[in-house]
Amino acid sequence: MRLSRHFLPVLKESPSDAQIVSHKLMLRAGLVRQTAAGIYAWLPLGQRVLRKIADIVREEQDRAGAIELLMPTLQSADLWRESGRYDAYGPEMLRITDRHDREMLYGPTNEEMITAIFRDSARSYRDLPRTLYHIQWKFRDEVRPRFGVMRGREFLMKDAYSFDLDEAGAHHSYHRMFFAYLNTFARMGLRAIPMQADTGPIGGDLSHEFIVLAPTGESEVFFDKQWEEPVSRYVVDYDDKDALMEGFYNMLAPYAATDEKRDLPKEQKIGGDLKQSRGIEVGHIFYFGEKYSKPMNLRVQGPDGSEVIPHMGSYGIGVSRLMGAIIEASHDDNGIIWPDAVAPYKVGIINMRIDDEACTAAADDLYARLQKAGVEVLYDDRDERGGAKFATMDLIGIPWQIVIGPKGIAKGVVELKRRKDGEKVELSIEDALAKVTEA
CB-based burial, 301-337: b 16+ in 10 Å, e otherwise: eeeeeeebbbbbbbbbbbbbbbbbbbbbbbbeeebbb
Q: Strands, E, within 247-363: which ranges? A: 256-257, 274-289, 300-301, 307-308, 311-318, 331-332, 335-336, 347-351
CB of 57 to ligand ATP, least distance (A): 11
Give whichever of 107 and 348 is closer to ligand ATP, judged by the CB atom: 107
Give whichever of 122 and 186 is closer to ligand ATP, judged by the CB atom: 186
| # residues contacting ligand ATP (CB under 6 A) | 16
Within 169-208, the residues that bind ligand ATP by CB under 6 A are 200
Query: 3-class SS at 353?
Result: coil
Among 107, 129, 148, 152, contact with ligand ATP (rule: CB under 6 A): 152
Within 157-176, the residues that bind ligand ATP by CB under 6 A are 157
Give dist(CA 367, CA 348) in Å, integer.
Answer: 9
Among 82, 127, 141, 142, contact with ligand ATP (rule: CB under 6 A): 142
Binding mask 268-307 for ligand ATP (x = CB under 6 A): -------------xxxx-----------------------
CB of 50 to ligand ATP, least distance (A): 12
Task: Give the total residue count for the chain.
Answer: 439
Query: 3-class SS at 198?
Result: coil
Give whichever of 105 and 378 is closer to ligand ATP, judged by the CB atom: 105
Specify whether the CB–CB gap between 419 and 397 falls below 8 A: yes
Q: Which stretch binds ligand ATP (CB under 6 A): 6-14, 29-37, 152-160, 182-190?
A: 152-160
Give dist(CA 251, CA 301) in Å, integer.
Answer: 35
Give dist(CA 57, CA 53) in Å, integer.
Answer: 6
CB of 219 to ligand ATP, least distance (A): 7
Give the residue at shortest CB distance from ligand ATP: 318
164's enclosing H/E stretch is strand 154-164
155 binds ligand ATP (CB under 6 A): yes
Give whichever of 176 and 284 is closer to ligand ATP, judged by the CB atom: 284
Give the pairing of strands 377-380 and 347-351.
parallel
Binding mask 307-346 for ligand ATP (x = CB under 6 A): ---------x-x-xx-------------------------
Specify whether the CB–CB gap between 272 and 259 falls below 8 A: no
386 alpha-carbon distance from chain centroid: 34
Give dist(CA 332, CA 394) in Å, integer.
Answer: 9
Give whichever of 170 and 282 is closer to ligand ATP, judged by the CB atom: 282
For residue 394, the cross-strand partners are: none
Give the pairing of strands 256-257 and 206-213.
unpaired
Q: Which residues bind ligand ATP (CB under 6 A)?
A: 109, 140, 142, 151-152, 155, 157, 200, 281-284, 316, 318, 320-321
